[in-house]
Structure 1
Amino acid sequence: MKTRTIQRTRLVPHTIDGKTEMVLDRYDEQIPIPPRDWDRTVLTAVTAAAGLLLLVCIGWTTASVGGLLSRVVHPIPAYGAALAFDLAWMMCMALEWLARYDTRRAALPRKAGHAALALAMVAVAAHGWIEAALIIGIIGATVSAIVKGIWTVVLRHHAKPLDSKTQQWVDRQRADAGGQLAMVAVRRELARAHAQVHAEEAALRTSPDRPDALPEASPETPENPAEAPEPAPALSAVGPMTIADAVRNAVSSGITDPDAVLRYVRTVADANAKPASVDRYLRAFRKTA
């Protein structure tokens, strides 16, 4: 059994002149070396070799299809478009890799990858046919098929499909997390819509040129105005609104006392609004009134 030496430390007592202190003591320890995991080594080597073949495949298909397309367009966009033929099925393979634990989700990128591969092979073969080298075009088209086949085998080896019950549990967890993520955007949209509605309502209530914005007379109001008590300005919390909007709403409703304005702002806008900020907005609105 092979071993390797590692250095460890421990606290040991050390006494000098009758005074003992705990000090660090370094010592060597032999630990066994686990045997090499040849299965993992081989799988890593195969995956690396398959990745190298992807580069070869991209170069071959891009050169072939780019030569085909450059007959009618400028070489730069032609070779750029040719690059998409192999990248399409490679991206589908990447999605299939991400779904290697879910057979149902991996089915769609696998089918799309096969379709993209077929298009790339047809394009390479067409280039050989136009160049009067159909046999070479067909052989070149099989390069993509070989690389795709190797990667299909590698992905199947890496894939770890879940059993039915575990897959159902995973699907429910995904659904719950997806629902919570979707509700974040929904709540944001609803909050924005409610804020717009409240802003419109506040503008209609405080608009001086709209007669319908005036409060309707109550049926219990006395006929003699002298007998009726002086009504207090009515305000409603239409929030959410900014501190400036709340101060403007208070001033337009007839509230001028700074303390009353501050209480109103803290009720409908910001519970932690500072008196200095409210006073500043109040002075500004008084000047423009």
Structure 2
Amino acid sequence: MEYTELSAYDLPAGTVTSWTPRADAGRWLQDPRELSPGHEAHLRDSEPGSWIGSVLRVPGPYEPEPLRRAIHAWMSRHEVLRTTVTRDAGQGWRRVTAPAEAVAIRDLVVGDLTTDQVTALLPSLLADVSPTAWPHCVLASVVPAAPDPDSDSDPEPERADHFVLAFGADHSVMDAYSQLLWFEEIVSLYDAARQGVPDAELRTLEVGSHVDFSAEDRKLAMTLAADGEPVRRWLDFLGPEATFPGTARGSPVRPATTPRPPARRRPGPTGSPPRTRPTT
């Protein structure tokens, strides 16, 4: 998989609107399902700006209300987008979840911007997401500006028949694999909303809950021991000089009882050829 930095993506000039989920404070419910070890590690080690996102060119005309309904249906389907964490009395993390009916999607028209202004603004709109503050996913749309009737250049024939939709999501609620599923799903929901499909039908989808998976992942992790069979198998497979991939020098594989070295800082943004939809 190859990524294009958002700053390198060819965004159009046009009308920018932010789309932000909201839920009243009193609608959040205590959720007994525990966080996965990976989620806890993310809360501990993540740095500002550690989010994932995409930009999608949506075919068809821009209609604000169907888009609102599509975004709400998407968040209703996926429980992980409606859950967050709070600190408990012991300063540990506890999960709270909002029901789908408690979530509203608020839009704010930012204004008509040039290409340079859109390129500068969009990352700041999406970068507000964090591991500890909901919403963990926000969106923004860009409706391309109408061609200048006095211009001598030929306008693109499809210019008025598409718009751009972008999102930024914290890694606690999305990874690269689930990111790929978003493209097809959000376009399908938008098309259905434009055709007048009722909200109840838009939200209907047999999809597993990542919140349930996190609780099961936690239970499984609690059964592991440094000298247990699964750990021994991995150490045998990786070899005596085993290192974790993707680090500058490699971090030796250590038993759970060995103190963990300080977390390595994330590298800064790097550009790559614009072959895929952009993320940060």
Scaled to the shorter chain, the TM-score interval is under 0.3
TM-score normalised by structure 1 residue count: 0.20
TM-score normalised by structure 2 residue count: 0.21
Rg larger for = 1
Q: Which structure features the higher share of helix residues?
A: 1
Q: Which structure features the higher share of strand residues?
A: 2
